[in-house]
Amino acid sequence: MSALLLQALRKTYKNGFEALKGIDLEVAPGDFFALLGPNGAGKSTAIGIISSLVNKTSGRVEVFGHDLDRDPEAVKSCIGLVPQEFNFNQWEPVGEIVVNQAGYYGIPRALAWSRAQESLARLELWDRRKDQAISLSGGMKRRLMIARALVHQPKLLILDEPTAGVDIEIRRSMWAFLSEINRRGTTIILTTHYLEEAESLCRNIAIINQGQIASNSSMKQLLNQLHNEAFVLNVKQDLSGLEELAEYRWQQLDDHTLEVEVTREQSINGLFQALAERGFEVASMRNKQNRLEQLFIGMVDASRRAERK
């Protein structure tokens, strides 16, 4: 049984825009799954259909064996959703927002308050439970939506850009929190524009573009498709004397910085050795671009070129 199964899922909006062109997707129970794509690719439409916010045109949605058409209540009971936009009553107290949501899932008020305390405390919001939601910062509002989505202990948590606009410190604490609930058995589907986030958290990945699945594999397999990586190196010596660098493609950025492309057949050790032979000592090194970002841009560009043909 899959945590999520989409078969030939299509959505055409009333204005004729075809947001999903028959996508197939399967997510295994316990997975931490990334659903990536550029803006307007169809990610939010797919999430909207899975969570019953958007009516599908055709196709099938199954969540933990429950068919969305035949048993929508069972499907909804399995899902917790953290949407991209803030969608709570800004004038309601924080605690009430979480407790009301629990009530909609049939959780009695006393139990709902104890669950709310648990999730709000874990997300450092319990002290703000009596404050109106409008008084929270952007990061706190995102955490509130996570607490609300978890209050009924869903088997499948869908996060649509959960860390958008959140500072790096809070983002990293949210990653730790999400990893922890995934380890405890909750299946997670994540959409994000921070590709570093997807690469560090997710085990499997689908890339959606122009309403179609452009790629669907494990993160490891996908990253293996990368033919070359660009590195930026800072060297201690002045680079003005460097004229060639074995078989590596390179360019000098300033007196002490150079950018080098390393293909899959080459190695970083070889690069260090080539530099050392020429009298250069590497002080520091970083990827020019996130590996997943590099692949993602390549795939999206290829897909656009194919569409134009």
Examine residue 54 and tell whether it contacts another protein (CB under 8 A): yes
Q: Is 73 in the site for another protein (CB under 8 A)?
A: yes
Distance (Å, rounded) from C-alpha 92 to C-alpha 131? 8
Given 2, 7, 57, 77, the residue binding another protein (CB under 8 A): 77
Does residue 139 bind another protein (CB under 8 A)?
no
Using CB under 8 A as the criterion, what x/- string covers residues 5-24 for binding another protein? --------xx----------
Measured CA to CA, the distance from residue 279 to residue 224 in angstroms comes to 32
Nearest approach in angstroms of CB 138 to another protein is 16
Q: Which stretch binds another protein (CB under 8 A): 66-74, 236-244, 277-285, 293-301?
A: 66-74
Q: Which of 199, 189, 159 is nearest to 296 (CA)?
A: 199
58 interacts with another protein by CB under 8 A: no
**Interacting residue with another protein among 79, 178, 214, 239 (CB under 8 A):** 79
Q: Examine residue 53 and tell whether it contacts another protein (CB under 8 A).
A: yes
Q: Where are the alpha helices (DSSP H) in 228-267?
A: none
Rule CB under 8 A: choose which of 7, 52, 200, 215 binds another protein. Answer: 52
* Contact call for residue 90 and another protein (CB under 8 A): yes
Is 83 an interacting residue with respect to another protein (CB under 8 A)?
yes
93 neighbors 120 (Cβ within 8 angstroms): no
Secondary structure class of 247 (helix, strand, coil): strand
**All residues at 6 or more sequence positions from 196 whose CB lies less than 8 Å from its CB, including other chains:** 290, 292, 293
Strand ranges across the sheet with 282-287: 249-254, 257-263, 228-235, 282-287
Nearest C-alpha neighbor of 46 from the set 141, 33, 98: 33
**Residue 95 interacts with another protein (CB under 8 A): yes or no:** no
Residues that bind another protein (CB under 8 A): 13-14, 48, 51-55, 72-74, 76-77, 79, 81, 83, 85-92, 96, 99-109, 148
